[in-house]
Structure 1
């Protein structure tokens, strides 16, 4: 019996790279992510800024000598999901207001402002994944900034 398989309406899009937890690794993650988004015909910003912040955090706060972090991008329906997995599962990120003269500390506030949703998911010890989602189609501003159910922010 011949059976036809249904072709997906949209192409499957996913990308993953393992990188060193260094400033160079974070910079490379941002470049690779932007290149991948361009190749998929998707807008680069604000995803590039989110990738930059999450990978900089992985290189700074999630760094463990000899252990890499992973950047994963994928598109499901009309949503781009950005995930950064590191091996400091005991250090959960929390956005906190930075003092006006601080040189750092605003990254998660930026992610919170740019992403439609974001959160943290635990993994096999010692991993954690910080993720952010962006809708690829226009939405109502008041409905777009809702936290994911069950995630701490």
Structure 2
């Protein structure tokens, strides 16, 4: 059994922005969470990272998706970066007939908190959508 980290650990992985990027992001994040003692939060994290990375694929022409993951004993934070800083993602309810548009509503309802950030010195023209999952001492989403 892997132990939860006693301090913050930070990781980054980058993926080509293709239709299979959400699957790669899910799989990489699940393995990372298992290795850092957060196996019980992997299900929620897997769903949320998939939704956010899928939004990058659908709504931007960013060539690469960068995923930053920070784990600590009580929190997992995931940030997904893209090069489309103009559009501000929002968790607005879609029409009942719409086939999509519910991903950020899932992020909002499952995560402990979430948001969108633009770096103060945004010369690279990037933004990131992030979410956090608070965890208990066993690594489960609280």
- TM score, norm. by length of structure 2: 0.83
Q: Indicate if the aligned counterparts of 1:22 and 1:60 stay in contact, CA closer than 8 A.
A: no
**Aligned-pair distance for 1:75?**
1.4
Q: Indicate if the aligned counterparts of 1:21 and 1:60 stay in contact, CA closer than 8 A.
A: no
Q: Indicate if the aligned counterparts of 2:7 and 2:73 stay in contact, CA closer than 8 A.
A: no
| Aligned with 1:78 (options 74, 79, 86) | 74
| Alignment match, 2:47 | 49
CA-atom RMSD in angstroms: 1.8
User: Tell me, which stretches of 5 or more residues in structure 2 are unaligned?
Assistant: none
- The total of aligned residue pairs comes to 129
| Alignment match, 2:129 | 130
User: For 1:108-137, what per-residue CA distance to the aligned partner results, in whole angstroms no more than 9, with x for missing partners?
Assistant: 000000011100110224100100011012
**Aligned-pair distance for 1:14?**
2.2
User: Tell me, which stretches of 5 or more residues in structure 1 are unaligned?
Assistant: 1-8, 139-143, 145-153
- Runs of 4+ that moved beyond 3 A: none
Q: Which protein is bigger by CA-based radius of gyration? A: 1
| Alignment match, 2:34 | 38
The 2-side partners of 1:22 and 1:71 are apart by 14
- Where relative contact order (Cα < 8 A, 6+ residues apart) is larger, the structure is 2
